[in-house]
Amino acid sequence: MKSLSILTVLLLFIIVIAQATPVQHTEEIAKRELGSKVVPLGVRFKDLYQRFNNQLKKVNKKFDHEITKFNKVVPEAAKSDNTDAKSVQWLLNWNADYEKLVSESKANTAKLDESIATLAKRLSSQ
């Protein structure tokens, strides 16, 4: 009985030591910069962002057309219905300010293009 209790204590001691010692891996797990699941997702979102940016470019072209049309049509309409010249000038000034905002939108669209190109480059390097 005495030897059984000694064996039990030794067995417990071995189990405690085994649990306390970290397992050392001989093989190091290969880490990838971009994994096989991340790259397709990145490509999918890059394409989606590019599509959205292309839509913004189309909208910006429409703005250019309509802003030019506004500058032409409003003075003609004002002449035909005797609108006050100050009011017409205010509308034209407002349209000029709006055109500046559209220009900022175009600049942001160009920056988005650069950012998307950076993402594409990063994804293609894998």
What are 23-72's pLDDT values in tens digits? 665 555 566 677 888 888 889 999 999 999 999 999 999 999 999 999 99
Whether 22 is in a domain gets the answer no
Q: Is residue 73 part of a domain?
A: yes
Please tell me the distance from the alpha carbon of residue 86 to that of residue 92, in angstroms, as a whole number.
Answer: 10
pTM: predicted TM-score of the whole model, two decimal places: 0.65
The residue range of the domain holding 66 is 33-124
C-beta separation of 39 from 126 below 8 A: yes
State how many domains the chain has. 1
Q: What is the pLDDT of residue 36?
A: 81
100 within a domain of the structure (yes/no): yes
Total Cβ atoms within 10 A of residue 113: 16
Q: Is residue 88 part of a domain?
A: yes
Q: Is the pLDDT of residue 2 over 80?
A: no
46-73 per-residue burial string, b: 16 or more CB within 10 A, e: under 16: beebbeebeeeeeebeebeeeeeebeee
The count of residues in the chain is: 126
